Chains A and B, each alone.
Chain A
Amino acid sequence: GAGVSQSPRYKVAKRGQDVALRCDPISGHVSLFWYQQALGQGPEFLTYFQNEAQLDKSGLPSDRFFAERPEGSVSTLKIQRTQQEDSAVYLCASSPRGLAVDYGYTFGSGTRLTVV
């Protein structure tokens, strides 16, 4: 596609509910990142994929967070047993090559998750 697409755009979950957030990167992009952005803060790194391999998941805040990219294209971020502190915008970004200096990363518009 022309850009990074994320769905749903908005998600309201009851505390304790599981959610799945989808990211469709730009076709052919090797690298894919997930970020969490709390209100008024900068994005914080969650995890990174190079093709289907999850090379870094050090930013995932707890074992309730899980990400996958089984075929090296679409990625899903899953949050189990959601808590109120999980409320944030979840951003996905992709890049056409592996980690290397280039002309930046393309971000999607994010999924705003509200846990009530």
Chain B
Amino acid sequence: LAKTTQPISMDSYEGQEVNITCSHNNIATNDYITWYQQFPSQGPRFIIQGYKTKVTNEVASLFIPADRKSSTLSLPRVSLSDTAVYYCLVGDGNAGNMLTFGGGTRLMVKP
């Protein structure tokens, strides 16, 4: 099971772009990269998932280099409501490869 490493915390200001990088050096060929967001007193919420290159949705972009040993979640023009914990997970979802969360990155957006 690939282990992930991400910064413990980050600070930003409203309107800025935030990039959170996750390292997953032991990612397997069949593994996908998934990011979740968690607000206090709520369960994690799926943000974005990708396998390689770039994925974009209405919430975020996910950049994955060719070697796939890291990934970067990009949040454009953050607002105060983006203050949350962001988790990076890797896994193929098969053969008992359950979702394994690390400690996540606590993002604080300031006015």
| A25 interface residue (CB < 8 Å to B) | no
- Does B87 contact A45, Cβ atoms closer than 8 Å? no
Q: Does B98 contact A (CB under 8 A)?
A: yes
Q: Tally chain B residues at the interface, Cβ within 8 Å.
A: 25
Question: Which residues of A sit under 8 angstroms from B93, Cβ to Cβ?
Answer: 99-102
- Interface-lining segment among A68-76, A80-88, A105-113: A105-113
Q: Is the CB of B103 within 8 A of A41?
A: yes
Which residues in B have their C-beta under 8 angstroms from that of A13? none
Q: Does B66 contact A (CB under 8 A)?
A: no
Q: Are A45 and B42 in contact (CB under 8 A)?
A: no
A41 CA to B44 CA, complexed, in Å:
12
Q: Contacts of A110 on B, CB cut-off 8 Å?
A: 41-43
**For residue A43, which residues in chain B have a CB less than 8 angstroms away from its CB?**
44, 101
List of B residues within 8 angstroms of A18 by Cβ? none
A45 touches B46 (CB 8 A): no
* Closest-CB distance, A105 to chain B (whole angstroms): 7
- CB contact under 8 A between A109 and B42, given known A42-B87, A100-B94, A104-B34: yes
Binding site for B on A (CB under 8 A): 4, 33, 35, 41-45, 48, 55-56, 59, 91-93, 99-110
